[in-house]
Structure 1
Amino acid sequence: MMGGQDRHPGWPAKTPVAATRAGGVRLRPLSRRDGRRWSEYRIADEAQLRPVEPTVQGDWADAHSGQMWRRNVTGLLDMARQGVLAPFAIEVEGQFAGQLTLGNIQHGVVSSCWIGYWVYSGFAGNGVATAAVGLGTDHAMRYIGLHRVEATVLETNTASRRVLARAGYREEGRLVRNLHIDGRWRDHLLVGLTVEETGGGVLAGLQRSGILPARLR
């Protein structure tokens, strides 16, 4: 189930399936075939995504066209082959539901990466994002072999802050004007998690606490 290269263990790979109220959730390598759903879902969720994501120049629909998808996915897969990034599709019962990326992968004395994700609103409120973050964090630590995973999040993005907190991420500080979001430079909170804090794994902790079901019903 797990595969990869010596310089990039854990890629390409599919994760185990996590139970949620929406059904089974897993991560799998992002594919060029995901473009139609990616465009459809991103365009439909402009009102939710634009205020929390890096600034898009021009029209939102143009920025999420098939042509832009092909450009984006080519770049992501190239970086995955270089071992610096792991781009995943989030699946719910085999259907594309969003995207999760492990980026700036560094081994050696740094041994860390960042995690970023989005989930289509049609799957929201069912634990999908929480499961995806749990699966992604476990994958980064167990199979890519990293010691630390971190994320940045807008202070006003309460939904994402809740997801990260449930997965065990600690707030570590504030990054001042570090990302250009929706037309202006915005502060972000820095959150992090190290392998020593995860016990038997993030997903297992979410299941033990009852945040996620232990098995599919």
Structure 2
Amino acid sequence: MIVPAVRVTGEIQMRPLVQADAEPLARAYTRNRAHLRPWEPERPEDFFTPAGQAARVGGRLGEQREGRALSLVLADAGRIVGAMTLANIVMGPFRSTDLGYWIDAEYTGRGLATTAVELVCELAGERLGLHRVQASTLVGNLASQRVLGKAGFASIGMAPDYLHIDGAWRDCLLFQRVLNDHRPPL
């Protein structure tokens, strides 16, 4: 699936992940390690290295080739400042996906996440033909909950012990955005 780069805000573009992003991603994750720790799974040390990111990017691109995921990065003049992932893409009568995202600590509070989430939803509905996007946040992640609310997501419930984050099973709030009412192809 070919997805064009799009301008998110100012000089920041959202574009498809490529293998050459491994080293810039390693730098971005290292730079944001403390910022992301409360919201992400525990990471092995090699996650923060170019080699670790090269393996991870290769896996993501394989899922993308199989139509199971779409990985995008947010770049400001070539510097990666965030990522958006549509994972677990399911077609057929379900036509749904799970959204994950993060934004560099230096770029939070500027509306970047909200705009990027809105653009990803537009892409999911118009280019991928999906009906629904689901996202989850830790109960205490109020900033992410605000982003989802501004981007048109509705709360659909709470999932106890949903994700293993920062060393423990955590409760999450679930959100969804219904993108359209198109009938799936037969």
- Whether TM exceeds 0.5 here: the answer is yes
Aligned-residue CA RMSD in angstroms? Answer: 1.7
Instruction: Report if the CA contact (8 A) 2:23-2:54 is conserved.
Output: no
Query: How far apart are residue 54 of structure 1 and its match?
Result: 1.4
Instruction: Report if the CA contact (8 A) 2:19-2:54 is conserved.
Output: yes
Which of 136, 148, 160 aligns to 1:176? It is 160
What's the counterpart of residue 52 of structure 1? 39
- Which structure 1 residue ranges, 4+ long, deviate > 3 Å from structure 2? 92-95
Instruction: Report if the CA contact (8 A) 1:176-1:187 is conserved.
Output: yes
What's the counterpart of residue 28 of structure 2? 41
What's the counterpart of residue 16 of structure 1? 6
Counterpart amino acid of 2:135? A
Query: How far apart are residue 148 of structure 1 and its match?
Result: 0.3
Partner SS, residue 125 of structure 1: coil
1:67 aligns with 2:57: no
1:143 aligns with 2:130: no
Distance 1:93 1:65, change over 3 A: closer
What's the counterpart of residue 195 of structure 1? 179
What's the counterpart of residue 133 of structure 1? 117
Query: How far apart are residue 124 of structure 1 and its match?
Result: 1.9
Query: How far apart are residue 91 of structure 1 and its match?
Result: 2.5
What's the counterpart of residue 145 of structure 2? 161
Which of 65, 86, 90 aligns to 2:74? It is 90
Query: How far apart are residue 16 of structure 1 and its match?
Result: 3.3
Where is the strand percentage greater, Structure 1 or Structure 2? 2
Distance 1:75 1:98, change over 3 A: same
Gaps of 5+ in 2: 182-186
CA distance in 2, matches of 1:168, 1:71: 34
Instruction: Report if the CA contact (8 A) 2:26-2:49 is conserved.
Output: yes
Partner SS, residue 28 of structure 1: strand
1:103 aligns with 2:94: no
CA distance in 1, matches of 2:63, 2:180: 28
Equivalent residues, number: 181
CA distance in 2, matches of 1:193, 1:15: 23
Gaps of 5+ in 1: 1-10, 198-217
Partner SS, residue 6 of structure 2: coil
Distance 1:85 1:151, change over 3 A: same
CA distance in 1, matches of 2:36, 2:120: 21
Distance 1:15 1:142, change over 3 A: farther
Query: How far apart are residue 196 of structure 1 and its match?
Result: 4.0
Distance 1:93 1:56, change over 3 A: closer
CA distance in 1, matches of 2:76, 2:109: 13
Instruction: Report if the CA contact (8 A) 1:86-1:103 is conserved.
Output: yes
CA distance in 1, matches of 2:67, 2:130: 13
Partner SS, residue 17 of structure 1: strand
Counterpart amino acid of 1:31? V
1:106-121 alignment to 2 at 5 Å? 106-121=90-105
> C-alpha offsets along residues 90-146 of structure 1, whole Å, 9 cap, x if unaligned?
123554221110111111110100111111112222211111111111100111000
The structure whose RCO (Cα within 8 Å, separation 6+) is larger is: 1
